[in-house]
Amino acid sequence: MKIVFMGTPHAAVESLDRIVRDGHEIVAIYTQPDRPAGRGNQIASSPVKQYATDNGLPILQPLKVRTPEALQAFRDHNADAAVVVAYGRILPEGFLNAFPMGAINVHFSLLPKYRGAAPVNWAIVHGEKKSGVTTMQMDAGLDTGPILMQRETEIGPEETSIELMQKLSTVGAELLSETLASYASLTPRQQDEAHATLAPIMKKEDGLISWMISATDISNRVRGFQPFPTTFTYFREKKMTLWKTSIAEPPGTIAQPGQIIEAAGDRLVVFCGGDSVLQIHELQLEGKKRVSARDFINGVRPNIGEIIG
């Protein structure tokens, strides 16, 4: 099968590699243009481009796709299908209909739940116990196209979005392989709009903690908002990022949300909304490295009753 592959982050590389290993012909790879990244703002290539370069595959990085010239260049590949995995750009309808099999998308949720840019993150933030991957025939809507195949997986109670994304990348590559192999015999099914939910692009301010919500909700945010926007608060006027937390047993007394109720040994414990309690295991103060709660307690010496936030 002749395929144009469109993808950008690490999550797309496993699907691209599986297509190559399955023996399909990659006639072009579309990925986002090189951009500044990291503290030094050095120009960096996407993981998909790095894979393509290492394997001698043809790479295209158009700045614009909504031009007649871009569409004609796309059609000129004369592929059987486009495969899209986290490309990072909404494609014009002409691209979706350019080839006989159209455009097949690997989406990291059980559609119609979590349509949009960040399905893995929001699934964890909202406390979902399961997630999965959908292969879909793309249409002009936002992840609204007919479903080709789906596969479900559990979300571990301590699993972060980084860990879940890696797991789903592997599941997605396998599901894509099966989808392409059995495409002719598949019957696409329409999504149930009554069960549709959104997973919008995350903003930095999404990570700011409100200690009025429950410890469970905060802990889910800590797991789900990695690596961006992270889950953060403020302590002694410095930004504090939480990296690992858990739910603790409620104390016998009531405290103020955001108030430290334990700070000894390994136990840094904060009172939250709904009379719930959060234990912080790993954290990072602005300008400092990520440390354990024990190291934070020994170095910073927080006081019982002190307010975080």
From first to last of its 309 residues, what are the pLDDT tens digits of the chain?
Answer: 999 999 999 999 999 999 999 999 999 999 999 988 766 778 889 999 999 999 999 999 999 999 999 999 999 999 999 999 999 999 999 999 999 999 999 999 999 999 999 999 999 999 999 999 999 999 999 999 999 999 999 999 999 999 999 999 999 999 999 999 999 999 999 999 999 999 999 999 999 999 999 999 999 999 999 999 999 999 999 999 999 999 999 877 889 999 999 999 999 999 999 999 999 999 999 999 999 999 999 999 999 999 999
C-alpha 90/C-alpha 95 separation (Å) is 10
What's the pLDDT at 251?
Answer: 79
Task: End-to-end CA distance of the chain: give it in Å, rounded.
Answer: 56
Cis before 250? omega within 30: no
How many angstroms from the chain centroid is the CA of residue 253?
38
Contact 278, 257 (CB under 8 A): no
| Closest residue by Cα to residue 114 from 144, 140, 93, 90 | 144
Q: What would the DSSP string read from start to end of 178-207?
A: HHHHTGGG---B---GGG--B-PPP-GGGG
C-alpha 136/C-alpha 290 separation (Å) is 40
The residue ranges of DSSP E strands in 138-174, in sequence order, are 147-154
**pTM for this structure?**
0.94
What's the pLDDT at 241?
Answer: 98
C-alpha 195/C-alpha 104 separation (Å) is 22
C-alpha 209/C-alpha 244 separation (Å) is 14
C-alpha 161/C-alpha 183 separation (Å) is 30
Other C-beta atoms lying within 10 Å of the C-beta of residue 152: 10
3-state secondary structure of 34: coil
What's the pLDDT at 274?
Answer: 93
Exposed, middle or buried by CB within 10 Å (0-12, 13-18, 19+), for 25? Answer: exposed
* Domains of the chain (ranges, CATH numbers): 2-195 (3.40.50.170), 204-300 (3.10.25.10)
| Closest residue by Cα to residue 292 from 240, 254, 244, 233 | 244
Contact 19, 58 (CB under 8 A): no
3-state secondary structure of 76: coil
Contact 33, 65 (CB under 8 A): no
C-alpha 32/C-alpha 106 separation (Å) is 17
- Please report which helix (H) or strand (E) contains residue 224, including its range: helix 215-224
What's the pLDDT at 37?
Answer: 76
What's the pLDDT at 147?
Answer: 98
